[in-house]
Amino acid sequence: MPILPIDIGRYGTPEMRRIFDEENRLETMLEVEAALAWAHGQVGSIPKEDALKIMEKASTKYVKLKRVKEIEDEIRHDVMALVRALAEACGPSGAHVHLGATSSDILDTATALQLKEALKLIEKRLNDLESVLLAGAEQHKKTVMIGRTHGQHALPTTLGFKFAVWTREVARHLQRLQDCRGRLLVGKMSGAVGTQAGLGSNALKIQQLVMERLGIKPADISTQIIQRDRYAEFTCIIAITASTLDNIASEIRELQRPEIGEAFEAFGQKQVGSSTMPHKRNPIICERICGLAKILRSLVSPALENVPTWHERDLTQSSCERFVIPEECILLDYMLILMTRVLRGLEVDEERMVENMGLTQGRMMSEAVMLALAKKGLGRQKAHELTRELAIKSHAEQRGFKEVLMENKAVQELLTNEEIEEVLDPRNYLGTAIEQIELVGKMTRRERRVRGLPD
């Protein structure tokens, strides 16, 4: 019976789970066996009528998962169980099934086909998330809020600036996946140690034909297995992408704290926040994203440890990958959907943002004051020290920074009251924030057009 959260349907989408379910895995492996038989027929290694028969029967319509498992229980070898089940279905033509191949030719090539589907889905989810972030950057490019460093009030920024930063992180993940694609989506027909000895004089042609039929590239060279640096690279990209989602979700969780209260996950009318505290409104979706990101980062270590293998191959990576590859794809796909949903429904309290900027009584504008004094001839270092002393005085006496500035003789000699008012307005100290947001928008839309997507 189902045990793990993916198996019971708690996490993951039907589209991605289908790619990695047992039935589809069997179908994909049969597709590889069919392509191998076809290639043999093309080069004359087996009669074409036998190749056609194998191609016809290489389907879960004829080769049942139940039968494959029955054979595997008897012989303790998953691929050979598939080979025997397919051979049974093919009658006399079954004598030519799996000719010249080794198990990993079928397994690794089938994995490439699954990853091709999975990658397409992940890229779609990333494109959707990028679109939502792009819209948020534009919508909130002038929504002024306090920027925080070390968890403390720093300088004014805008909510749109945060969205723009996240937009470019997602864009980089799309670039990384695109760069990785050619290295990841490769198959092979190379035999037991990679020399293709069992495939005969037409081995290279057979491999090329198989991969062309399947729509992937042949590995440039391999041993009995596709070298696992390819999968490890993909897992690292998955983990980095998950960490970006963790970062965004963590920011929303922080902004949702009652002490801050600037942005919130949407909360359904009938949603329950706590089994005992009716008032609770918990950021559970963001928390789920952060929790699942821990799982995806944890998969990097086994993926890297799968790269070393004894001689031409061993089986230490096989059992590990049965967890890592489906899990990383299913969970990232699910997390991307969750993150997109949260951002689409994000509730923003602009009034609270303004209130929070007032918590430091104007002291958040100390850098602007310092620079204004420096430009008036006080000098940067003296201006810094004076502003620091006045900020400390404002804090200690719990008085407005403007009041403290206006009563200081040195400041009064350099800045008028009107200039102090102007320099303390956070809207006047956004630097190039809005310009940067607009540049990010133009850059990202240009890239999306290249990908064939709407702006």
pLDDT in tens, 398-455: 999 999 999 999 999 999 999 999 999 999 999 999 999 999 999 999 999 999 998 7
Which of 300, 331, 356 terminates a domain? The answer is 356
Q: pLDDT: is 307 or 278 the higher one?
A: 307
Q: Kindly tell me if the per-residue pLDDT of 268 is higher than 70.
A: no
Which of 356, 383, 403 terminates a domain? The answer is 356
pLDDT band for 119, please (50, 70, 90 cuts): very high
Per-residue model confidence (pLDDT) at position 276: 67
My answer on whether 252 and 178 are in the same domain is yes
Q: What is the mean pLDDT of residues 281-293?
A: 94
Is 1 within the bounds of a domain?
Answer: no
Q: Are 380 and 374 in contact (CB under 8 A)?
A: yes
pLDDT band for 395, please (50, 70, 90 cuts): very high
My answer on whether 147 and 177 are in the same domain is yes
- Poorest-pLDDT segment among 254-263, 279-288, 354-363: 279-288
My answer on whether 50 and 165 are in the same domain is no
pLDDT in tens, 81-93: 999 999 999 999 9
List the structure tokens of 284: 């559970």
My answer on whether 177 and 317 are in the same domain is yes
pLDDT in tens, 324-379: 999 999 999 999 999 999 999 999 999 999 999 999 999 999 999 999 999 999 99
Per-residue model confidence (pLDDT) at position 205: 98
CATH number of the domain residue 256 falls in:
1.20.200.10
Query: Domain span at residue 74?
Result: 14-96
Total residues belonging to the chain: 455
Is 135 within the bounds of a domain?
Answer: yes
Per-residue model confidence (pLDDT) at position 366: 96
pLDDT in tens, 185-212: 999 999 999 999 999 999 999 999 999 9
Q: Kindly tell me if the per-residue pLDDT of 280 is higher than 80.
A: no
Reply yes or no on whether 104 is catalytic: no
CATH number of the domain residue 392 falls in:
1.10.40.30
Is 107 within the bounds of a domain?
Answer: no
Is 201 within the bounds of a domain?
Answer: no
My answer on whether 160 and 222 are in the same domain is yes
Is 32 within the bounds of a domain?
Answer: yes
Reply yes or no on whether 275 is catalytic: no
My answer on whether 407 and 313 are in the same domain is no
Which position among 201, 274, 298, 301 bears the catalytic label? 274
pLDDT in tens, 137-184: 999 999 999 999 999 999 999 999 999 999 999 999 999 999 999 999
Q: Kindly tell me if the per-residue pLDDT of 77 is higher than 80.
A: yes
CATH number of the domain residue 75 falls in:
1.10.275.10
| pTM across the whole model | 0.95
Q: Are 253 and 291 in contact (CB under 8 A)?
A: no
Is 205 within the bounds of a domain?
Answer: no
Is 432 within the bounds of a domain?
Answer: no
Maximum Cα–Cα distance across the chain: 103
My answer on whether 226 and 174 are in the same domain is yes
Q: Are 324 and 295 in contact (CB under 8 A)?
A: no
Q: Kindly tell me if the per-residue pLDDT of 269 is higher than 70.
A: no
pLDDT band for 273, please (50, 70, 90 cuts): low
My answer on whether 311 and 417 are in the same domain is no
Amino acid identity of residue 208, one-letter, is Q
My answer on whether 260 and 332 are in the same domain is yes
Question: β-strands 347-348, 152-158: how paired?
Answer: unpaired
pLDDT band for 262, please (50, 70, 90 cuts): very high
pLDDT band for 272, please (50, 70, 90 cuts): low
- Poorest-pLDDT segment among 4-8, 302-306, 371-375: 4-8
My answer on whether 335 and 418 are in the same domain is no
pLDDT in tens, 18-51: 999 999 999 999 999 999 999 999 999 999 999 9
Cα angle 121, 125, 129 (rounded to 5 degrees) comes to 170
Can you tell me the distance from the alpha carbon of 345 to that of 62, in angstroms, rounded to the nearest whole number? 47
Is 229 within the bounds of a domain?
Answer: yes
Q: Kindly tell me if the per-residue pLDDT of 274 is higher than 70.
A: no
Q: What is the mean pLDDT of residues 257-280?
A: 78
Which position among 59, 77, 93, 150 bears the catalytic label? 150
Amino acid identity of residue 342, one-letter, is V
pLDDT in tens, 224-252: 999 999 999 999 999 999 999 999 999 99
My answer on whether 374 and 295 are in the same domain is no
Which of 96, 127, 143 terminates a domain? The answer is 96
pLDDT band for 277, please (50, 70, 90 cuts): confident
Number of structural domains (the chain) is 3
Per-residue model confidence (pLDDT) at position 1: 77
My answer on whether 408 and 350 are in the same domain is no
